[in-house]
Amino acid sequence: MAKYLEAKSLFYPDHASPRTAWQPVELIYDLEARDSPTEAWAQNIAALADDGKTILLWAGDARHGATVVEILKKLRLLPAESAAVPLEADWIGGWNFNTTHPVFSGLPAPVVFNQEYAGAFGYRGITEFPGTVIAGLINAPPQFAVTLGELPFRKGKVMVCALNLLPFLDKDPVADRIMAQLLNYAVTHTNVSADDLRRSVAGRTTGGGNQERVDTPR
């Protein structure tokens, strides 16, 4: 992911560094990279949302999916009965689908995914998701889960993505398009601008208080 973002002139308004504190979107895709407990992640995400940022949590595999659900429950963004469930691939079957959303602009929507979306299938999703559904899966017998969704949180937002885009980037044009449009949507629909965050950071470092920011891997 890091190499992909470094090679593309997209996503971050300030191209100097995606790690600067005034980027309006925080992309977190390696939740176990530093073995941080979910309580620490929850506190950090809450602090980022208090600044008005959009936090994009990437559930890249089953372990990440369970961690994302646990974090969102600690933030009280999901009900207790929510869970990360797999797409059923047995003879009964399961289906991925999308909605008419800017993330899928220029692509068929709303549709059940076919081979055209081979680079974007979600193999797990979150049940009982109370926010905006952008894409999801349906298992048979009926079970509905979100693979891409958005939740308002404090002054900012939390977006969750479990679409399997990463192995197909720079290989599948559909995956590349969805990724670019997802990141573009996150930035253009955030609740705070890079300039606002610059002023906020400057105020904290020049007498506005000694507020420490916990760095997140991304």
- For the entire predicted model, the pTM comes to 0.87
Fold category of 2-205 in CATH: Rossmann fold (3.40.50)
> Would the pLDDT of 216 be above 50?
no
What CA–CA distance (Å, rounded) separates 108 from 125?
A: 21
With beta carbons less than 8 A apart as the criterion, state whether 200 and 53 touch.
no
Identify the H or E element spanning 144.
Answer: strand 143-153
Give the pairing of strands 124-126 and 84-86.
antiparallel
Lowest-pLDDT choice from 15-19, 106-110, 123-127, 183-187: 15-19
Lowest-pLDDT choice from 44-53, 173-182, 202-211: 202-211
